[in-house]
Structure 1
Amino acid sequence: MTPGEVLLVDDDNAVRTVVAQALRRAGHRVRTAANLAELDRELRLGTPDLLITDVVLPDGDGIERAMRLVAERPDMPVIVLSARNTLATAVRANEAGAYDYLPKPFDLDTLGRTVARALARRGPVEPRPDVDDDHALPLIGRSPAMQEVYRVIARLVSNGLTVLVSGESGTGKELVARAIHDLGPRRHGPFVAINMAAIPRELIEAELFGHERGAFTGAAQRNAGRFEQAAGGTLFLDEIGDMPIEAQTRLLRVLQQGEFTTVGGSRTIRADVRIVAATNRDLRQAVARGAFREDLYYRLNVVPVVLPALRERRQDVGALARHFLDRAAESGLPRKMLDDDAVDVLEAHDWPGNVRELENLMRRLAALSRDDQISAGEIREMLGEPAATPAQVVAIDDAVRAYIDRLARTEPKVLEDGTLYDRLIAEVERPLIEAMLARFGGNQLRAARAMGLNRNTLRKRLDMLGIDPAPRSPDL
């Protein structure tokens, strides 16, 4: 690692202190500033090897200042930090020419590795065309899983690389494709989507590449295919795993040669499109079964984007639900709100249909809920999840009795020495805390509230029981 001089700009004194200490321990020289005015003062004293800046500063926008600095000092890499963990922020940072973007809270080890890579590179990053921060972007969520998706999208929108988006049904794969198109240089061209699973096998080639009059029975006139329709724009190939093997061969040829002919035609047509493909299947397994061409898989999987299932980012459920209620109101349905208990129920659900299922539920609730505020009971009723049943209580009761019976057989003195209560509570407490932390994605505040505990009390119990809810460096 090559040490360097780092200028850190953040209005949070705690962040400045902790980050500066970590970087100094790694051998770097660190100067700090709390706002843009102090940043300018520090720059007059000398240009650092690397700038780390927050986005929202008391006297201005850190990304806008970073953009000017990248233009003035192209050899100085910039790392952007932000608590506004949205796709728009990631894209703006990338367009400003920043070396990297790290959402808050971030891991100190990750920051240290990013600083080391940036200092090793120390070369200009080409700024991209600007995009407004309030651009109507379709992806929502501040979970770590979505932050990684944002960072990948921000890096690839400006190039023409082929992208393969994978994820379960309902996770928003087409939204990713549209974001890549809308934020990229082809944004003024058409966005054309085709679902491979919805087209009869015998018609897929004609749908993709078009056909000439008389090419087959019923072809009364020439029709342009999706490749022609998407010229100058983006072609989204949804459910690519359902494409017949014979059509895969022709698609591979187009990707390799950049041109095609219509069905029944002889004229060569240039394929001026960006390809974004999507699948809810494991294409590697399909390749192993011989159901998908290996060479086509590698042609499509140039840049992989993996979308998490909604159950893997439960902390985003509340924001998504409120967004869908707002959209329902914009479409003419009554405006509704969610109470805190309702959000807890939504976060606890596993969402087998993912984001699409959540959106449909919110629209039904907006249309059918009798009150302005949606309750937890209404959501349970809609989801078909009754409140605690006698059967569930009996199951817990049986577990306690079984535990006592086992102790009576293996450690009979426990029933006489007055330790049974403490033993039983200890047995229950650990799985209870671990289960609640897992349910709320490691969020100690929500887990504590759900259990009726003070957050400090929960932290003490975690220390006492030796439970590590997040094995990583401190969050900032």
Structure 2
Amino acid sequence: MPDYSRTDATLPSVFARLAVNQARTARVVTIVFHPDPNRIGERWLVPEPGSRTLVLGRQQPLFSPAAAGDARPLDDPHISRQALSLSFSAAGVTLEPLPAACRCRIDGTWVSTAQTLDRAALRRGIALQLAHSVVLLLREQPVPPEPLTSALQEADDAALCGSSFYMQSLRQQIARVADSGLDVLIRGETGSGKELVARALHAHSERRSGPLVAVNMAAIPAGVAPAALFGSVRGAFTGADRNNRGYFQQAGGGSLFLDEVGDTPDDVQPQLLRVLQEREVQPVGGQLEKVDVRVISATDAALDGPASSFRSALRHRLGSAEVQLAPLRAHPEDIGELFCHFINRACTEIGRSPLLPEPAADELRIAQWAELFHLCLRHAWPGNVRELANCARQVVLDSDIGIQPPTLLLQQSAAAVAEEYAQTEERVPVQLGDNALRALLEQECYEVAAAARRAGMSRQALYRRLPELGLRLAAQVPETELQQALVDGDGDVRAAAMLLRVSTVALRGRLRNRPDDMDTGDRV
């Protein structure tokens, strides 16, 4: 009988010794948010510019969906025809807002002068926002060495959405590995979607009609692991009053998913290796029996290297084929599409009507969504796709009180926001149109402080916008007009303030200081 005991330390995976991916790279601008959510994920492949300066604007360039479809410009009326110029060099990229253009935001800061960013920033991804309505990501990313054929896109899964080159390559790899019939080891950080990939591998394999049994190896106590995995017969141990089928037998004809396989107890690893080699199990107290099962395993643990306690033979047997998942921060261009998917899914789960804006939504609603997607794009997502899904669920749960980013997102972005504000004496306002600002002030009963907070601008900046909005301060209302508003409002200060379109608090303060010492309550 072969010796399945551990005789050596885990050897570094041959995959880890391969040369760095030599795939060529391309500079890509991806739509992360657009007033028409159906356009999220479209991209523009930046041509090799040479000495040419390229321009982002309302009618140029053309963005194409990853699947078949017509290329279209951003075509948003709030974006200038020529908004932002891009000049690339070996050192990085220079981004410059063009004269008289709409407001431009670069990596969280509204800017009016040229900004130069190095290659490292370009590889990480540079968040761009044009006006208050469109969020983009400029990033240098690897291009797959082989074409992404439409036939392999049938392996797509709603939970594995994303139009980036990485996600397209992943779906292609899933389709290829699923057909192979080999055991598969899925590796990636926690929350990166390992179970989703396992389910996709099963769903697109020849075993799709059989069961998929999922087991969390970290949750099985070492003492009962053999019986849980391989089964037991009646009388094999105290309390074994009947025959029990283990997970391997339950998965017969299908697939067995061993999640957190890196936490397999040391004593169980030789037994698991034997099962994988011989395709037979021995129930506790019973005889050997054949099993017909494909094993898909997953871990975020470091299985390779001399410091690992995981047995090298088992590690390489589990990984007859291997799928390596990238963290979300390595393919941020997918954040927009994933967030949309999770928002829609959460609405269905919770029983809410669709939450994402329609293309004809009002400016304020569009600006709120753009701000939320911009925050998502700049967040590090240490919890990866799972954290993004939880964030979307929280947004839907809180939707009764408006489109608000979860507290965690705000906390994570606080340092970046503080740094941005430290560069100027006051906050740079979001470029809301006049109609949107009027609607926002009306919602906040013309209280400037509350409206400014929601618009992401300072009170001073909003005060300066009042004349162009056709509005004024309570102190600026002529006495005769004020008296008439009080009469029309039946003496109610709040009603009079709404008629005058001024702050109730400010109007009450003015009345309080009048020589005739009017009542400072809600009625005069």
TM-score range relative to shorter protein: 0.5 to 0.7
User: Shift of residue 167 of structure 1?
Assistant: 0.4
User: Secondary structure of 1:277's match?
Assistant: strand
User: Secondary structure of 2:268's match?
Assistant: helix
- What letter matches 2:145 in structure 1? T
User: Secondary structure of 1:219's match?
Assistant: coil
* Residues 125-144 of structure 1: pairs in structure 2 closer than 5 A: 133=154, 137-144=158-165
* Residues 20-59 of structure 1: pairs in structure 2 closer than 5 A: 56=68
User: Shift of residue 394 of structure 1?
Assistant: 8.6
The residue aligned with 1:344 is 374
User: Shift of residue 337 of structure 1?
Assistant: 2.3
User: Contact 2:279–2:290 (CA<8 Å) still a contact in 1?
Assistant: yes
Question: Do structure 1's residue 323 and structure 2's residue 323 form an aligned pair?
Answer: no
User: Shift of residue 144 of structure 1?
Assistant: 2.5
The residue aligned with 2:83 is none
User: Shift of residue 241 of structure 1?
Assistant: 0.5
Query: Which of 372, 376, 388 lines up with 1:358 in the alignment?
Result: 388
Task: Report the count of equivalent residues.
Answer: 278
Q: Where does structure 1 lack aligned partners over 5 or more consecutive residues?
A: 1-14, 19-53, 59-104, 116-129, 398-476
- What letter matches 1:361 in structure 2? C
Q: Distance in 2 between matches of 1:199 and 1:239?
A: 11
- What letter matches 2:383 in structure 1? G
The verdict on how the C-alpha distance between 1:392 and 1:164 changes in structure 2, with shifts beyond 3 A counting, is: same
Q: Distance in 2 between matches of 1:328 and 1:109?
A: 33
The residue aligned with 1:176 is 197
1:26-49 Cα offsets, whole Å, 9 max, x none, are xxxxxxxxxxxxxxxxxxxxxxxx
User: Secondary structure of 1:149's match?
Assistant: helix
User: Secondary structure of 2:171's match?
Assistant: helix
Greater CA drift, 352-361 or 134-143 = 134-143
Determine what percentage of the aligned residue pairs are the same residue: 41
Greater CA drift, 211-220 or 256-265 = 211-220
User: Contact 1:137–1:179 (CA<8 Å) still a contact in 2?
Assistant: no
- What letter matches 1:336 in structure 2? L
User: Shift of residue 203 of structure 1?
Assistant: 1.2
User: Contact 1:380–1:386 (CA<8 Å) still a contact in 2?
Assistant: no
User: Shift of residue 245 of structure 1?
Assistant: 1.8
The verdict on how the C-alpha distance between 1:109 and 1:201 changes in structure 2, with shifts beyond 3 A counting, is: closer
The residue aligned with 2:292 is 272
User: Shift of residue 384 of structure 1?
Assistant: 2.5
User: Shift of residue 152 of structure 1?
Assistant: 1.3
User: Shift of residue 244 of structure 1?
Assistant: 1.2
Greater CA drift, 131-140 or 319-328 = 131-140
The verdict on how the C-alpha distance between 1:393 and 1:56 changes in structure 2, with shifts beyond 3 A counting, is: closer
The residue aligned with 1:148 is 169
RMSD, aligned α-carbons: 3.3
The verdict on how the C-alpha distance between 1:326 and 1:211 changes in structure 2, with shifts beyond 3 A counting, is: same
User: Secondary structure of 2:297's match?
Assistant: strand
User: Secondary structure of 2:185's match?
Assistant: strand
User: Contact 1:346–1:379 (CA<8 Å) still a contact in 2?
Assistant: no
Question: Do structure 1's residue 289 and structure 2's residue 310 form an aligned pair?
Answer: no
Question: Do structure 1's residue 217 and structure 2's residue 238 form an aligned pair?
Answer: yes
User: Secondary structure of 2:256's match?
Assistant: strand
Q: Where does structure 2 lack aligned partners over 5 or more consecutive residues?
A: 1-43, 48-65, 71-139, 358-368, 425-524
The verdict on how the C-alpha distance between 1:388 and 1:309 changes in structure 2, with shifts beyond 3 A counting, is: closer
User: Secondary structure of 1:223's match?
Assistant: coil
User: Secondary structure of 1:192's match?
Assistant: strand
Query: Which of 248, 251, 276 lines up with 1:230 in the alignment?
Result: 251
Q: Distance in 2 between matches of 1:275 and 1:134?
A: 20
Q: Distance in 1 between matches of 2:215 and 2:142?
A: 40
The verdict on how the C-alpha distance between 1:106 and 1:359 changes in structure 2, with shifts beyond 3 A counting, is: closer
The verdict on how the C-alpha distance between 1:332 and 1:215 changes in structure 2, with shifts beyond 3 A counting, is: same
Higher RCO structure (Cα 8 Å, ≥6 apart): 2
User: Secondary structure of 2:304's match?
Assistant: helix
Q: Distance in 1 between matches of 2:279 and 2:169?
A: 31
The verdict on how the C-alpha distance between 1:324 and 1:215 changes in structure 2, with shifts beyond 3 A counting, is: same
User: Shift of residue 137 of structure 1?
Assistant: 4.2
User: Shift of residue 385 of structure 1?
Assistant: 3.7
- What letter matches 1:274 in structure 2? R
1:190-243 Cα offsets, whole Å, 9 max, x none, are 000100111111111111101111222222221100000000000001111000
Q: Distance in 2 between matches of 1:259 and 1:390?
A: 59
Q: TM-score, normalised by structure 2?
A: 0.48
The verdict on how the C-alpha distance between 1:273 and 1:380 changes in structure 2, with shifts beyond 3 A counting, is: same
User: Contact 2:152–2:171 (CA<8 Å) still a contact in 1?
Assistant: no
Question: Do structure 1's residue 110 and structure 2's residue 131 form an aligned pair?
Answer: no
The residue aligned with 1:369 is 399
The verdict on how the C-alpha distance between 1:292 and 1:387 changes in structure 2, with shifts beyond 3 A counting, is: closer
User: Contact 1:333–1:366 (CA<8 Å) still a contact in 2?
Assistant: no
1:342-383 Cα offsets, whole Å, 9 max, x none, are 1110011011111111111111110122356x25xx345654
Question: Do structure 1's residue 310 and structure 2's residue 331 form an aligned pair?
Answer: no
The residue aligned with 2:284 is 263
User: Shift of residue 393 of structure 1?
Assistant: 6.0
